[in-house]
Amino acid sequence: MPTAVERRASLLAAADRVVQRDGPDASMNVIAAEAGITKPILYRHFGDKGGLYSALAARHIEDLLGRLRAALLTRGGLEARTRATVDAYLTSIEERPQVYRFLVRRAAVEEPGVRGEVEGFVRRFGDELANGIRHEPALGDVDPMRALVWAHGIAGMVQAVGDWWLDHPDVPRQVVVNELTELLLAGFSRP
């Protein structure tokens, strides 16, 4: 007999499969059917729809943050780190576009807690990026406030471009990565 933790993980995995398949059209009924249970049992494990959405958001946000942190440590200088970080974000949403659409376009709209998770991700990433900017040898001694403003602007910009890009599959990811990298490097080169 599975423990409550194992059962919850199994239900979350079922929800994840449905969201990856159906994106913003995923419903609690379909998630419950995928898990082989009824909706009330699903609610018992997550409290409500918001609890399930928040658990899904936390799962995917932690994965994305891990990828972005690794990209920020890329060797080869500012251009290599910038390119790797932009590419890590776009690759992540390209690999799971339905999850991105579900979290950003549906769950964050319907559930304030999920909106907070998504906004919190952007803030956390902006703070980590600011730290990277402050310690980037190619940029010299960047004022902490300037680093925060730049980092949060970059995080929002990359998120907005990623959202646009998912609706324009004719534009290759590498083109978007190159254009954003050039824009950022040009901004960094100004005093």
pLDDT digits (tens, 9 = 90+) for 106-135: 777 778 777 888 888 888 889 989 999 998
Of 102, 94, 5, 62, whose CA–CA distance to 70 is shortest? 62
Contact 78, 136 (CB under 8 A): yes
Domain harbouring 127, CATH code:
1.10.357.10
pTM for the model stands at: 0.87
11/92 same-domain check: no
130-139 contact pairs (CB < 8 A, 24+): 132/72, 132/81, 136/78, 136/81, 138/77, 138/78, 138/188, 139/78, 139/188
Full domain range(s) for residue 27: 1-47
Helices (H), the chain: 4-22, 28-35, 39-46, 49-72, 78-95, 97-101, 108-110, 112-134, 144-166, 173-189
Give the percent of the chain with pLDDT over 70.
99
Residue 33's pLDDT is what? 95
Domain count, the chain: 2
145/118 same-domain check: yes
99/32 same-domain check: no
166/183 same-domain check: yes
180/116 same-domain check: yes
Residue 121's pLDDT is what? 84
18/103 same-domain check: no
18/73 same-domain check: no
Please give the angle made by the CA atoms of 160, 93 and 178, to the nearest 5 degrees.
65
Q: Would you say the C-alpha torsion 60, 157, 119, 141 has a positive or negative sign?
A: positive
pLDDT digits (tens, 9 = 90+) for 19-53: 999 988 888 999 999 999 999 988 888 888 888 88
Exposed e or buried b per residue across 92-104, where buried means at least 16 C-beta atoms within 10 angstroms of its C-beta: bbbebbbbbbbbb
36/70 same-domain check: no
What end-to-end distance do the CA atoms of the chain give, in Å?
63
pLDDT digits (tens, 9 = 90+) for 50-67: 888 888 888 888 899 999
79/105 same-domain check: yes
148/181 same-domain check: yes
66/8 same-domain check: no
